[in-house]
Structure formats: C-alpha cells, structure tokens
Amino acid sequence: MLIIGPPGSGKGTQAERISERLGIVAISTGDMFRANVKSGTPLGVEAGKYLDAGHFVPDSVTNGMVRDRLSETDVEQGFLLDGYPRTIEQVDYLDGILADGGHTLDVVLQLTADDEELVARLLGRARESGRSDDTEEVIRHRLDLYSGQTSVVVARYAERDIRTLVDGIGPVDEVTERAMQSIRETQAA
C-alpha cells in the first residue's frame, strides 16, 4: 500500500495510524533520508544536499534506500510506503521490486488538501519543531514540485483503479476514519 499527498497533508500521521490498524509496517522515505543524513552515510550526505534546498532526492539515491528497506523481513505481511514513489521512473522501479518478490500494490491512498492550508500547517510545524527545511519559500517550492512531478504518478495509479482520494483536512481521527473506509471500499472493488 502507498500513501501519497502533498507535503503537510498528514501522510506521516495517517501512515502510522493506518499501519497500526492494519498490522503492517509504515515506511517513510523522509525518515529514511533523515536517518541516513544524521548517520552521515554516503547516501545521507548526498540526500542532505537536496533536502536542505527543498528539492527531491535523486531517484538513484531514493531507489537504493527503498530497495534495501523492502528487503527486510518486517515487510513480509505488508507495508505502507509514505513519500515514494514520486516520479514515473520510481513507479516503474517499485513495480520491479514488487514483481521480484511476486507482489503488486493493493491500494494507493491519496490525501488531498488546499495549498494555503498546507503552507499554514508547515509553517506552524516549523515554528514548533525548528525544522530548517520549512521556510515559506521552500514549502511553496516543494508544493510546486509535488504537483508537477507526482500528478503523472497519481494518474498511473488511477488507471490501475487502485487509487482512492481522501480529504486530509479536519480532525486527525476523522481523517483516519475516512482513510480506513476508503481502503475498505477500494479493496472490496
């Protein structure tokens, strides 16, 4: 399963809640990037250059991290990817990883939210946590990148009829309930 949505749409929060309810592991590429940056790994040093500027990390770096993560045993009963794939090339790469293991995606959950709401959320988070990557200029740049690069990804999954849209605005519990209902409906179809 994938969860996709613009920065600040609640993907991380919802990924944790959904994975807990379904008994599967949540895998955040953002967390993988931050862990590698903090540890100073070669992939982390490379990723850090892009993250600090508000750009997406190149596919070569991201794909390697995802392939390594999906080879671990805790994903055998299922997983929920948060933040990947973001490009058609990554979709194809993920398809290959899954095919190698005899798997396919079941559901792509797309959280939606208004850009102005997202900017306000992310600026609030920046004030609370001191995240250096959340300035208004960087946030708007990330939203533009998301929109431009991931629209084709979303379209690909819509063609496969595994994408489901969920309004990401509102109390966290309500968004979770909408997401779980949408997952049930998509799997039943």
Q: Please state the residue numbers annotated as binding site for ATP.
A: 8-13, 125, 170
Can you tell me the distance from the alpha carbon of 129 to that of 126, in angstroms, rounded to the nearest whole number?
5
- Tell me, yes or no, if 142 is annotated catalytic: yes
User: Which one from 11, 17, 121, 178 is the annotated catalytic residue?
Assistant: 11
User: Which one from 17, 86, 163, 178 is the annotated catalytic residue?
Assistant: 86
Can you tell me the distance from the alpha carbon of 156 to that of 168, in angstroms, rounded to the nearest whole number?
21
Q: Are 5 and 112 in contact (CB under 8 A)?
A: yes
Annotated binding site: 8-13, 29, 34, 55-57, 83-86, 90, 125, 131, 142, 170
- Tell me, yes or no, if 160 is annotated catalytic: no
Annotated binding site for AMP: 29, 34, 55-57, 83-86, 90, 131, 142
Bridge-partner residues for 2, per DSSP?
81, 108
- Tell me, yes or no, if 69 is annotated catalytic: no
- Tell me, yes or no, if 131 is annotated catalytic: yes
User: Which one from 49, 127, 131, 184 is the annotated catalytic residue?
Assistant: 131
Give the three-state DSSP class for 81. Answer: strand
User: Which one from 17, 142, 163, 178 is the annotated catalytic residue?
Assistant: 142
- Tell me, yes or no, if 178 is annotated catalytic: no
Q: Are 147 and 114 in contact (CB under 8 A)?
A: no
Can you tell me the distance from the alpha carbon of 122 to that of 1, in angstroms, rounded to the nearest whole number?
25
Active-site residue list: 11, 86, 125, 131, 142
